[in-house]
A = this chain, B = another copy of it.
Amino acid sequence: MAAIEFWYEFGSTYSYPAVMRIEKLAAQAGVELRWRPFLLGPIFQTLGWNDSPFNIFAAKGRYMWRDLTRICEAEGIPLKLPPAKFPQNGLKAARLALAGESARWTPSFTRAVFAANYAEQKDISEDATLVPILDALGVDAEAAFAAANTPENKDALRRQTEEAASRGLFGAPSFTIGDELFWGNDRLEAALAWAQPSSKG
């Protein structure tokens, strides 16, 4: 079966519409989907940025919020601005998302955390945000945090981020099909089309 890897960062704005759209679109395209949370911070640091480029470059930031608003309106995705803070620290959420992969709650957890950030103005770095999300999914929050905080899981997230960088990723969301890289929510459809063997002739 054709397969696509979906790389996202919990602090990334354009990851939000991709997170909300990808499962349905991948299913429609018949493309297997692997969710790969990673951290953009370490990658941005190698580019010389110690903050989001949307904060460093003010005109880009102003445009991004307007553009995100248009996209969410067009897609019917709830958006409430401004967020609690930007960018939010997605480290805990990323560790949890990675820990949830084997039990398969990563996609629903990810959607709920992005909704908490962008539709509910919550701080996603706080346990007070994350625990009720896990509860609502029927996941044992205490066990999930314990799994997220093992040295093995922390190291797995570090390796996931290193793999992202080594595969040429520099932003989120990104999509990979083997060595083929697509960047941006606006490339999701093209990435899924690429993942379908028949479409490449």
What residues make up the interface of A, taking CB atoms closer than 8 Å to B? Answer: 47, 57, 59-60, 62-63, 66-67, 70, 74, 168-171, 181-184, 186-187, 190
Contacts and interface: CB of A to CB of B under 8 A. Distances in A.
A62 B169 CA distance: 10
Given A63-B170, A186-B186, 18 more contacts: A47-B57, A57-B170, A59-B168, A59-B169, A59-B170, A60-B170, A60-B171, A62-B168, A63-B181, A63-B183, A66-B181, A67-B182, A67-B183, A67-B187, A70-B190, A74-B190, A184-B186, A186-B187
Contacts of A190: 70, 74
Contacts of A74: 190
Contacts of A169: 59
A60 to B, nearest CB: 5
A67 B168 CA distance: 13
Nearest to A61: B170
A185 B168 CA distance: 22
**Interface pairs A-B: 5 shortest CB-CB:** A59-B170, A186-B186, A60-B170, A59-B168, A47-B57
A74 B190 CA distance: 10
A93 to B, nearest CB: 24
Nearest to A169: B59
Given A47-B57, A57-B47, A63 B168 contact: yes
A167 to B, nearest CB: 10
Nearest to A60: B170
A63 B184 CA distance: 12
Nearest to A193: B74
14 contacts: A59-B168, A59-B169, A60-B170, A62-B168, A63-B168, A63-B170, A63-B181, A63-B183, A66-B181, A67-B183, A74-B190, A184-B186, A186-B186, A186-B187
Contacts of A182: 67
Nearest to A183: B63
Contacts of A181: 63, 66
